[in-house]
Amino acid sequence: MPANLHNIKLEPDCANCAAYCCVALAFDKSTMFAYDKQAAEPCKHLDAKHECTIHDDLKTKGFRGCVRYNCFGAGQRVFNELFDRRSWRDHPEQAQDIFDAYRVMHNVHEFLAMLQAAKKLTLDEAQLRQVSVFEAELTPAAPWSVATLTAFQTSGTFEEIRNFFKSLGDKV
């Protein structure tokens, strides 16, 4: 089923994911994270059910970065649409594809959320048209796949979108 901007949920739904963010992403020990973790390495606080064992105490345990993180719905989208509810743990042969797809889908969803916010600014007609063009590129008619996400990541569109947001600096 093709994506439609109106039916894409840009909010996390951890119950419909397999804790992709807790595995796919790396973090460094800092004031935001209590220890170093490599990308594709499960967080040591992740249990067998893909749940955080310190979720209620993230701040006090040194994981402010987790509290602040927002996948913008990328996790459940990759889990449900691209990998048919497969876990990286149950399908280790697909783990790297899952994590790679998650990271790109996170960028797609973050950009969609930012474009929605940009529409609330006082934009001129050309800027509004550009927002629409980018939204269309981020919600293609054909469903995303690992291959199309990978190709899209290197297409130059991400850099175009980043430059567009930089150009809106005076509007914020």
Averaged pLDDT in 10-residue chunks for the chain of 172 residues = 70 95 97 97 96 96 97 96 94 96 97 96 96 95 92 92 93 74
Residues 172 and 166: their CA atoms lie apart, in Å, by: 10
Q: Cβ(88)–Cβ(18) under 8 Å? A: yes
Q: Cβ(115)–Cβ(168) under 8 Å? A: no
H or E element at residue 166: helix 157-167
What residues does 37 pair with on adjacent strands? 27
pLDDT at 65: 97
pLDDT at 1: 40
Q: Cβ(124)–Cβ(171) under 8 Å? A: no
Angle at 127 between CA 121 and CA 131, to 5 degrees: 85
Cβ-based burial of 26 (10 A; exposed 0-12, middle 13-18, buried ≥19): exposed
